[in-house]
Amino acid sequence: MLSVAIKTLQRILPAAFACCLFAFVLGARWAVFDRFGMDLPEWDQWDAEGLNLLAPWFTHDHFFRALFTPHNEHRVVLTKLLNLSLTLANGQWDQRLETTVNALLPASLAVAFFLLARRHLAPRTLVPLWLFLAAALGIPVAWQNVLGGFHSQQFFLVALAFVAIALLPFAKSFSPRWWFAAAAAALGLLSMASGFFAAVIVIGLLGVRLFRRETTLRAILPAAVVCTLVIALGWFTRHEVDYHATLKAKNFHDFIFTILRSLQWPAPFTPWFGLLLWFPWTWLAVRLLRPSGQISPAARAFGYLVLGLGAWVWLQFLATGYARGAGGPPPASRYIDTILSGLVANALALAWLYTAGFLAARVRLGFAALTVAWVALFSWGVTNEFRQSLAVDLPPVKVYHDYAKQNVRNYLLTGDAAHLNHDEIPYPGADAFIGRIGIPDLRSRLPVSVRPPLPLAVNRSTFYPATSPALPPAPGLSPTTHPLDYRTTWGSYSPHDPVPTVREFTSAPLRATVGGWLRFETAGHVGEPGVILELRDARTGAALAPVASNQIPGDAWRAAYVPAPPGEFIVFARAPDAAHWLAFSEPTEMATGSFWAWQLSKHGLLVAELALIVASLFGAMTLLSRRVYPAR
């Protein structure tokens, strides 16, 4: 029985580790967004998604032309289609929902790398590779891609290139794998401007295999034709914009130093670190391309994949050095996921060189020393980048997001453009932003953080209304409870009642227009016995759902969420006396997808921690099983 259990454990172990890796990358990215992100779309989204996607869709105004309209130099069709689908399914335009779904792409890519490595590499390399992939794709060093709902283009670019490079040079022509890889190569054109680079690499790998007589011209011709068409289409449909001319490299120095700084990331001090970080891939390239019969066909095919992935990243470096090389800057955060793909290629190269088993005895010690140095340099650099992100880069972003939501919300509540005369708005320029947010089809689909509430009319009430701007004490609120900005609230607090007075509030009937959930701001003793805030059926008066946060608010405002009833409902409140008071705001609608995206991101850290714990337990069980039941 013990041997059966151990064999079962060994059989399910790869899938268990893959699931834990997937969950860790998801949870880590969700947790970062929960702490520093915002649901309000920002910057490029207002043009690429707002003007050139959502507005044409809802007004039926040349949608397909708008879909393929370039955004800067890129045709981000896949990102547009993904975000359009999410907005239509959700009913609100919510960046949190976009980033929650976007995180599925790097998590899936991490699993793909891991499972591919499991098929071709030595078992001893899998745990180090798991840890590396968890750090590379889970730690938020590329924080712009974690927080930006529009940045799925970066993940589409990497994932489609990986599929094309991994399958197309080796698949039998017109087989299902071949068609899948050919589609990935073609779809790369719809990710970013450099999407055709994968086809360039595939042709290079086909040429290497043909030169080494591992295949025939007839066998590779269909793939070569497809890739040639993709390259031609990508090159002749490229789009350049005049306003980015200042970002291009001005001289050879700028071009080279931009590339060097990408090569040496995450170790910023000297370009020589780039030589160490890229030595595994370079060694693999030399060993793989040198004529030799010592490498098995399967090992050589995996080596070609790693070679192609690293070469693809090099093409990205060259393109970035040319198009964004003015001044020789370090890589922007949004490009880090591409750089990490290069480091994944180097990590896989290390494991491949170890697995292939052809390291001569005279170089094994040196190879081991270089491997330790590589791991140490990567770990030190990523740790520093992680600290930089958490301590320096992200806190100001959080402050900006908080002010941006407040300023946009106050503008929508008051119509006063003075609230947008700040740098903390989600678009460069107040006048341009007012024009975009004034589009009815965009304004009606804004997320809960800035969305105007449902108007709440009073039927009967002994509560006190309070409207900001006002200073404490405000009617119905305790002396230390600050009124909500430009919001009407109703409160029962009255310290001057000579005798305990029961206060009640009943609203006029209202109906949710979006469905999903309603968000109330609550204060006081909501949730305590005898203090009632609930939704009731407008026709029968039957209680539908209580409205209460997960903690008693006291003198602070806390959000409370309740499912929106399908029909008409009323808001009912009851406070037994001044010592047990409550206050509440008008409800704001939150779509179902937005609510669950918020729940997932809020629990992201827990998901990541559980994934690490479960992976550690499986690892410990594996070590124990090998001691109890050693392999024979």
**Which residues, at least 6 apart from 528, have a Cβ–Cβ distance to it below 8 Å?**
552, 580
Instruction: Measure CA 247 to chain center.
Output: 26
Asked if 407 and 420 count as a contact pair (C-beta separation under 8 A), the reply is: yes
pLDDT at res. 104: 95
Distances in whole angstroms, Cα of residue 219 to Cα of each of 171, 182, 210, 440: 9, 15, 10, 55
Mean pLDDT of 441-451: 93
pLDDT digits (tens, 9 = 90+) for 138-153: 888 889 999 999 999 9
pLDDT digits (tens, 9 = 90+) for 118-139: 888 877 778 888 899 999 998 8
Which one-letter DSSP state was computed for residue 350?
H
Determine which helix (DSSP H) or strand (DSSP E) holds 616, and give its type and residue range: helix 604-628
- Strand-strand pairing, 464-467 and 532-537: unpaired
The residues that bridge with 458 in the sheet, in sequence order, are: 507
Contact 454, 507 (CB under 8 A): no
Average pLDDT over residues 194-204: 94
Is 519 a residue whose pLDDT tops 60?
Answer: yes
Q: What is the CATH number of domain 458-586?
A: 2.60.120.940
Q: Mutual orientation of helices 152-167 and 197-211 as an angle, nearest 10°?
A: 20
Share of the chain above pLDDT 90, in %: 55
Q: How far apart are CA 401 and CA 311, in angstroms?
A: 38
Cβ-Cβ contacts under 8 Å for 375 (sequence gap 6 or more): 128
Confidence of residue 360 (pLDDT cuts 50, 70, 90): low
Would you place residue 369 in the very low, low, confident or very high pLDDT band (cuts 50, 70, 90)? Answer: confident
Mean pLDDT of the chain: 88
Q: pLDDT band for position 550 (50/70/90)?
A: confident
Q: What is d(CA 545, CA 119) in angstroms, rounded to the nearest whole number?
A: 52
Strands 554-563 and 588-590: unpaired
Q: Which residues contact 61 (CB under 8 A, 6 or more apart)?
A: 55
Please report the pLDDT score of residue 167 as a whole number. 93
Checking DSSP bridges between strand 582-585 and strand 488-491, what pairing results, if any?
antiparallel
* 137 token code pair: 């794709």
Segment of 189-198, 319-328, 622-631 carrying the highest mean pLDDT: 189-198
pLDDT at 624: 66
Contacts for 570 with CB less than 8 Å, ≥ 6 apart: 459, 506, 507, 508, 509, 510, 535, 536, 537, 538, 541
Question: For residue 440, what pLDDT is reported?
Answer: 92
Average pLDDT of span 469-490: 84
Q: Taking residues 51-77, report their average pLDDT.
A: 90
Give the Å distances, CA to CA, from 7 to 16, 162, 414, 510.
Answer: 14, 33, 67, 61
CB-CB contact of 494 with 501 (8 Å): yes
pLDDT of residue 2: 53
Amino acid 632: pLDDT: 45
**Integer Cα distance of 346 and 135 in angstroms:** 15
Residue 222 has pLDDT above 90, yes or no: yes
pLDDT in tens, 586-626: 999 999 999 999 999 999 999 999 999 998 887 777 666 65
- Please provide the DSSP assignment of 372-387 as one string: HHHHHHHHHHHHHHHH
Q: How does residue 10 score in pLDDT terms, banded at 50, 70 and 90?
A: low
- What is the number of other CB atoms lying within 10 angstroms of the CB of residue 232? 12
Residue whose C-alpha is closest to residue 447's, from 154, 102, 100: 100
Q: Is the pLDDT of residue 543 over 50?
A: yes
Instruction: List the single range of 173-187, 207-221, 281-295, 477-491 with lowest mean pLDDT.
Output: 281-295
State how far the alpha carbon of 438 is from the alpha carbons of 45, 51, 428, in Å: 15, 11, 16
Task: Look at residue 289 in the predicted model and tell me its pLDDT.
Answer: 79
| DSSP conformation class of 214 | S
Q: What is the mean pLDDT of residues 243-259?
A: 88
- The pLDDT value given to residue 270: 77
Residue 496, Ramachandran bin (φ over 0: left; ψ between -120 and 50: alpha; else beta): alpha
- Distance of alpha carbon 199 from alpha carbon 182, whole angstroms: 9
Provide the percentage of residues in the chain whose pLDDT is more than 70: 94
pLDDT value at residue 212: 85
Asked if 151 and 55 count as a contact pair (C-beta separation under 8 A), the reply is: no
Radius of gyration of the chain (CA): 29
- Per-residue pLDDT band at 7 (split at 50, 70, 90): low
Supply the pLDDT for residue 243. 84
Q: What is the C-alpha separation between 277 and 270, in angstroms, rounded? A: 12
Q: Name 590's Cβ contacts closer than 8 Å, sequence gap at least 6.
A: 92, 447, 448, 514, 516, 517, 518, 519, 561, 598
The 3-state DSSP class for residue 3 equals helix
In sequence order, the β-bridge partners of residue 490 are: 465, 584
Prior bond to 473 cis, omega within 30? yes
Is 353 a residue whose pLDDT tops 90?
no
Boundaries of every domain in the chain: 151-239, 458-586
Q: What is the DSSP letter of 39?
A: S
* Averaged pLDDT, 25-29: 95
**Computed from CA positions of residues 129, 135, 141, 144, in that sequence, does the dihedral angle turn out positive or negative?**
positive
